[in-house]
Amino acid sequence: MLQVSYLKENKEAVLEGLKKRNFKNPELVDHAINEDQKRKSVQSNLDENLSEMNKISKEIGILMKDGKKDEAERAKSKTADFKEKIQVYQQELKDSEQNLLNILYQIPNIPYEKVKAGSSETDNEIIFQSQEVEALGEGAIPHWELAKQYNIIDFELGVKIAGAGFPVYLGKGARLQRSLVQYFLDKNTDAGYLEVNPPHVVNEASGYGTGQLPDKEGQMYFIGEDQLYLIPTAEVPVTNIYRDVIVDEKDLPIMMTAFSQCYRREAGSYGAHVRGLNRLHQFEKVEIVRLEKPENSYESLEGMVKHVQSILEDLELPYRILRLCGGDTGFAAAMTYDFEVWSAAQEKWLEVSSVSNFETFQANRLKCRYKSEGKTQLVHTLNGSAMALPRIMAALLENNQTENGIRIPAKIAAYTKFDFLN
């Protein structure tokens, strides 16, 4: 969430940034500024009446002490009007504060200066590609057929138990999945990230804290009886560890990693692009999260990109890195890099990781701050997938199919204890 002070002091830059995103409601900036002025006016009236009320209360005390009961009673009669006005102003203030929040919740983050304008994924910049890619050739089998052939993932059984988008991993498939998770966590902790095992459900405040609410409410599974949401990513509970916290400056940067199941309704998704592991309602992912001092956050973002890049190198998969344009950058992010791996059998790129800097957007919602030289200011938050499992699994199966079975990359074979799926 952007701060009103930032909107007022940088209005032209804000509108220019929103234009990069093709944001359809730039008038919300003026609405927020005007509502803030109204809030301040109501606050001023409330403070004035509270001051007068306090003054009269002191006068009453003095009159009573001096035995001037009649004068004290007359003074008391004046307080009734002030009490009524105070109640009205308190309600008006509450309403105005809520109106302001509702407006601010609708304004996305401002893209970083390096982010180019654009309307969709076709405008994203490819900033790195590991190698030339090509199809496996005639007879290449897509991962959903490989999964059936080697009896490692059962999609139909998942439909029976829960519905489409909930696959069941079997035997060596389950072991490969578990090995990938362990490898990702080890890679992250070796890089200095603290492993965290968070809840897989969050309350409404946590959803608002990281920006999933109200923006992605329709994509989250909601448990009505308990007013809880199944997490779409470990980013949500992990980042919320520091909601309403003032961090000690010497503790920054704070680096955390977490494995979790992720739950996404993916409402409206259909067609060939959701087949097999391409898009699921439940999947496993390892996340990395950082809290940084503002002056260090973009250097840290580049470090996170290099870290994810090293994972893909270990997995021996063809990959590319994209910097997202304004129109394709997530609501809360200031800048995002996407990682895609080549699906040889499907002959297309699959997104497997997003690494983003949110600057103060989440921290303002979370009230996550740090104190430096006596001044309290907001941290910058960053996160990324390191990694999401389903499409990594799909690419591993498709790119490594041989006459002898599916070859397991050496770094992962050290965890699976087998070199081939056959």
Q: How far is CA 150 from CA 235, 415, 421, in A?
A: 33, 19, 7
Helix ranges (DSSP H) in 105-203: 143-149, 155-161, 171-190
Q: Which two tokens stand for residue 100?
A: 């302001």
Is 287 annotated in some ligand binding site? yes
Instruction: Work out whether the CA dihedral 51, 53, 54, 56 comes out positive or negative.
Output: positive
Type and span of the H or E element at 320:
strand 319-323
Is 122 annotated in some ligand binding site? no
Is 320 annotated in some ligand binding site? no
Residue with tokens 């990682």: 339
Q: How far is CA 163 from CA 91, 148, 167, 273, in A?
A: 47, 18, 9, 18
Q: Which two tokens stand for residue 123?
A: 């405008």
Is the separation of the CB atoms in 257 and 286 below 8 Å? Answer: yes
* Peptide bond before residue 214 is cis, with ω within 30 degrees of 0: yes
Is 57 annotated in some ligand binding site? no
Is 372 annotated in some ligand binding site? no
Is 383 annotated in some ligand binding site? yes
Is 373 annotated in some ligand binding site? no
Is 266 annotated in some ligand binding site? yes
3-state secondary structure of 409: coil
Reference 124, options 327, 302, 306, 318; nearest CA is 327
Is the separation of the CB atoms in 79 and 59 below 8 Å? Answer: no
Is 265 annotated in some ligand binding site? yes
Do the strands 228-230 and 201-202 form a parallel or antiparallel pair, or are they unpaired? Answer: antiparallel
Binding residue positions for ATP = 264-266, 351-354
Binding residue positions = 233, 264-266, 287, 351-354, 383
Binding residue positions for L-serine = 233, 264, 287, 383
